[in-house]
């Protein structure tokens, strides 16, 4: 594994992740507009996110059942997961290069990312 090869893999991963997320959100947006495009929302009151969209398993279930909001939320999850996947790829690449210092540093970054995503406020 060379630095150039790792850069190429990471660039492809980021491009693919962002493109996939954009396509999923666009698809969900189209489904949402087809189903709810003629509705007139009441902006005088704030309605928070329904409880069913607060957990990854619920979002995936809603998306695969064809719910527009679930599809959009899944696209956003893919977008959030893309930089995390980049860090995982970098840990693997640095490990293959046998560059221990970068493996340690990148693993610390990964731990911070995962902690920030998993911890509850």
- The structural domain count of the chain equals 1
What is the arithmetic mean of pLDDT over 73-102? 94
Contact residues for 69 (Cβ-Cβ < 8 A; gap 6+): 28, 32, 50, 53, 62
Quote the pTM value.
Answer: 0.83
What is the arithmetic mean of pLDDT over 89-107? 94
pLDDT beyond 70 at 51: yes
Does residue 41 fall inside a structural domain? no
Does residue 26 fall inside a structural domain? yes
- What pLDDT, in 10s, does the model give residues 7-47? 999 999 999 999 999 999 999 999 999 998 888 877 788 87
Domain that holds residue 102: 3-36+51-118
The pLDDT of residue 63: 95
The pLDDT of residue 14: 96
Does residue 88 fall inside a structural domain? yes
C-alpha count within 13 angstroms, C-beta hemisphere, residue 47: 6
């Amino acid at each position: 594994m060379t630095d150039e090869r790792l850069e190429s893999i990471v660039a492809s991963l980021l491009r693919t992740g962002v493109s996939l997320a954009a396509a999923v959100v666009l698809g969900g947006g189209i489904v949402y507009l087809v189903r709810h495009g003629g509705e007139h929302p009441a902006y005088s009151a704030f309605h928070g996110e329904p409880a069913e969209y607060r957990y990854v398993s619920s979002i995936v279930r809603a998306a695969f059942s064809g719910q527009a909001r679930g599809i959009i939320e899944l696209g956003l999850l893919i977008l959030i997961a893309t930089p995390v996947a980049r860090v995982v790829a970098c840990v693997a690449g640095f490990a293959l290069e046998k560059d221990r210092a970068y493996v340690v540093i990148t693993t610390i970054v990964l731990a911070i990312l995962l902690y920030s995503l998993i911890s509850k406020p």
